[in-house]
C-alpha cells in the first residue's frame, strides 16, 4: 500500500462508498455538535419530511451564540428572536432525543470549548457541525469541518454527508517561540503569509517541533483559525499530550476501552514518505507578536510594524481592498501599530477563552489597572472554565484590575447577543475574525493573543507584550 497522509486515513476509514471519479464520496460522520443558531431550518426540514434523527446519541446540543453573558446567569434571552431560537432548540432536542446542555447547565459554554472538555471528541473521529470553526477538533487528532443547514438536515437523518476530498497541505513549524509569543501568533503569521484564501481546497496537517511543544489547548487555537486561511479542515497527529488531556474526561472511554483506544490512536499519523500536494515551512523563532490592522484576518502585521501603505501594492484589487479596510478602520498608512488607541478589550471566543488563555492574561494584568478610557471584558469559554478560573483566583485578579467578569458564551465575538460594540468603537480582541461589523455595526476589531489584549487593556493602546515588563 502506498504511504498515506493522516487526512487520507481519516477519509478512507469513513468512506461508505465512492460516488464518482471527481473525488465525491459518501462519508460517515461520527459526531456533531448542534447550536441554536444554525440548526432551526434543519430540524424544520426533518419535521416537514416526517423523518427522525437516525443516531441521536451521536449529537450534542448547546446554547452558545445568542445567550447573554451578564455576570449573573439568567435563562432569558436579550431579544425575541434569540428567545425563539433557544426555545425551538429545546423543543427539537426533546422531540428528537438529542441531549441539550441548556443555558443553565453547569457544563454550558461555546460548542468548540465544551465538546473537547467533555471528551465528546476523540482521535480518529470525523466531526461535522454547523459552524466553520469545527476545525478546532483537529488538535485532538480528529477531523472536523463546518457544514450548512441543508447538510445538517442530511446528517441528522442519515449520519452521512456527500463529501468531496480535499487536497493536502502540510505546514511544518519548527523553532522555539520567543517569550510572550503564543500559538495565536503562529496561526496569524501563517494566515498573513498565505492569505485568507491561501488554503482553500486543502486540509492542513500541522507538524514540527513547535507544534509538538505546544499544549493541547494552544493547538486548538491554531486549528480553530486555520479556516481563516480558507482551509476546510486542520489537524495534528495525536500524541501523549492529547491522551493525557482526554484521559478521565466525562465522555471519554475508560478501562479496557481506553487502553484499546490509545493503542489505535498512536497509529494516527502520516506514513513516512506520504506525499502532500503542498508544503509550507515556518520558523517560529523568527516570529513576532501579531495584530491585525484591517478587516480580514490576513491583514495583519507584527506589532512593531506600521500600518501598510496601499500605494506600495501593485495588485489593483488588493490595493483597493487595503484602502477600503483602512477607511473602515480609521487608520492612516505609516501609523505605528503600537500607537493605535483602543476603547475596548475583549478576551473570549472559541479561539482563546480556555483556562490557559485566562492564566496567560491574568499574568499580564496582575497588580495593574485597566486604562480609564477602556472597557475590558473577560468571557470564559465555558461554565467549567469559569468555575476553574474562580477556584484558581484568576477571576479576582481580573476584577481587581477593572475587567468585567462574565458568564460563558460567544459574546462579543460575533455580536449576535447583547454584547455589541457601537459604531467607531475600537477593540483589542482575542477572537478569530475582524470583518466589518463583526463585533457591531461600524465597530473596529484588532485580533491578537489574550496576553496582547490584556496588555492593550492596561496601556490603553496596542502594545508589544515583549516590552510590557516581566510576567510571572
Q: Hey, what domains does the chain have and what are their CATH numbers?
A: 6-166 (3.30.499.10), 167-237+271-286 (3.40.1060.10), 291-467 (3.30.499.10)
Report the chain (472 residues): mean pLDDT per 10 consecutive residues. 95 98 97 96 98 98 95 90 96 98 96 98 98 98 97 98 98 97 98 97 98 98 98 97 98 98 97 97 98 98 98 93 98 97 98 98 98 98 98 98 97 92 98 97 98 98 86 42
d(CA 35, CA 131): 9
The CA distance from 278 to 231, in Å, is: 13
pTM of the model: 0.97
Instruction: State the pLDDT at residue 469.
Output: 64
Q: Are 136 and 187 in contact (CB under 8 A)?
A: no
3-state SS, residue 41: helix
Angle between helices 355-365 and 383-391 (to 10 degrees): 40
How far is Cα 36 from Cα 38, in angstroms, rounded to an integer? 6
Question: Who's near 381: CB < 8 A, 6+ residues apart?
Answer: 109, 110, 113, 114, 348, 349, 350, 353, 354, 357, 408
Beta carbons within 10 angstroms of residue 254's beta carbon: 12
pLDDT at residue 385, as a whole number: 98
| Angle between helix 149-158 and 40-49 (nearest 10) | 50
What is the reported pLDDT for 471? 43
pLDDT recorded at residue 19? 98
The four Cα atoms 303, 304, 306, 312 give a dihedral, to 10 degrees, of -100
Amino acid at each position: 500500500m502506498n504511504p498515506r497522509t493522516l487526512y487520507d486515513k481519516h477519509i478512507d476509514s469513513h468512506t461508505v462508498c465512492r460516488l464518482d471519479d471527481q473525488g465525491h464520496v459518501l462519508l460517515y460522520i461520527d459526531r456533531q455538535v448542534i447550536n441554536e443558531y444554525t440548526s432551526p431550518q434543519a430540524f424544520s426540514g426533518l419535521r416537514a419530511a416526517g423523518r427522525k434523527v437516525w443516531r441521536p446519541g451521536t449529537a450534542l446540543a448547546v446554547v452558545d451564540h445568542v445567550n447573554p453573558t451578564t455576570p449573573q446567569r439568567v435563562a432569558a434571552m436579550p431579544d425575541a428572536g434569540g428567545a425563539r431560537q433557544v426555545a425551538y432548540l429545546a423543543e427539537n432536542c426533546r422531540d428528537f432525543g438529542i441531549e441539550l446542555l441548556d443555558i443553565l447547565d453547569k457544563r454550558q459554554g461555546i460548542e468548540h470549548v465544551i465538546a473537547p472538555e467533555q471528551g465528546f471528541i476523540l482521535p480518529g473521529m470525523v466531526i461535522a457541525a454547523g459552524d466553520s470553526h469545527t476545525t478546532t477538533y483537529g488538535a485532538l487528532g480528529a477531523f472536523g469541518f463546518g457544514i450548512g443547514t441543508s447538510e445538517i438536515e442530511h446528517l441528522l437523518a442519515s449520519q452521512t454527508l456527500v463529501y468531496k476530498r480535499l487536497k493536502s497541505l502540510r505546514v511544518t513549524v519548527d523553532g522555539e517561540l520567543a517569550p510572550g509569543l503564543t500559538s495565536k501568533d503562529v496561526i496569524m503569521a501563517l494566515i498573513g503569509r498565505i492569505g485568507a484564501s491561501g488554503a482553500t481546497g486543502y486540509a492542513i496537517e500541522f507538524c514540527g517541533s513547535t507544534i509538538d511543544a505546544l499544549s493541547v489547548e494552544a493547538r486548538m487555537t491554531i486549528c480553530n483559525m486555520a479556516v481563516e486561511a480558507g482551509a476546510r479542515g486542520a489537524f495534528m497527529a495525536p500524541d501523549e499530550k492529547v491522551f493525557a488531556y482526554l484521559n478521565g474526561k466525562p465522555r471519554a472511554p475508560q478501562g479496557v476501552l481506553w487502553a484499546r483506544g490509545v493503542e489505535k490512536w498512536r497509529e494516527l499519523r502520516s506514513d513516512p514518505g506520504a506525499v502532500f500536494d503542498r508544503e509550507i515551512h515556518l520558523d517560529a523563532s523568527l516570529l513576532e507578536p501579531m495584530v491585525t490592522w484591517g478587516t480580514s484576518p490576513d491583514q495583519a502585521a507584527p506589532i512593531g510594524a506600521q500600518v501598510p501603505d496601499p500605494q506600495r501594492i501593485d495588485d489593483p484589487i488588493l490595493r483597493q481592498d487595503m484602502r477600503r479596510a483602512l477607511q473602515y478602520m480609521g487608520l492612516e498608512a505609516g501609523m505605528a501599530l503600537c500607537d493605535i488607541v483602543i476603547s475596548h478589550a475583549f478576551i473570549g471566543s472559541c479561539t482563546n477563552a480556555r483556562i490557559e488563555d485566562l492564566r496567560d492574561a491574568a499574568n499580564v494584568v496582575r497588580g495593574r489597572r485597566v486604562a480609564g478610557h477602556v472597557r475590558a471584558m473577560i468571557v470564559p469559554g465555558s461554565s467549567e472554565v469559569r468555575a476553574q478560573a474562580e477556584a484558581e483566583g484568576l477571576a479576582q485578579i481580573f476584577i481587581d484590575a477593572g475587567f468585567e467578569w462574565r458568564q460563558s458564551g460567544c459574546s462579543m465575538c460575533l455580536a449576535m447577543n447583547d454584547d455589541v460594540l457601537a459604531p467607531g468603537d475600537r477593540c483589542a480582541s482575542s477572537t478569530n475574525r475582524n470583518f466589518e461589523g463583526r463585533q457591531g455595526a461600524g465597530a473596529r476589531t484588532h485580533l491578537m493573543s489574550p496576553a496582547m489584549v490584556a496588555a492593550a487593556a492596561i496601556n490603553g493602546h496596542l502594545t508589544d507584550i515583549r516590552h510590557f515588563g516581566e510576567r510571572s
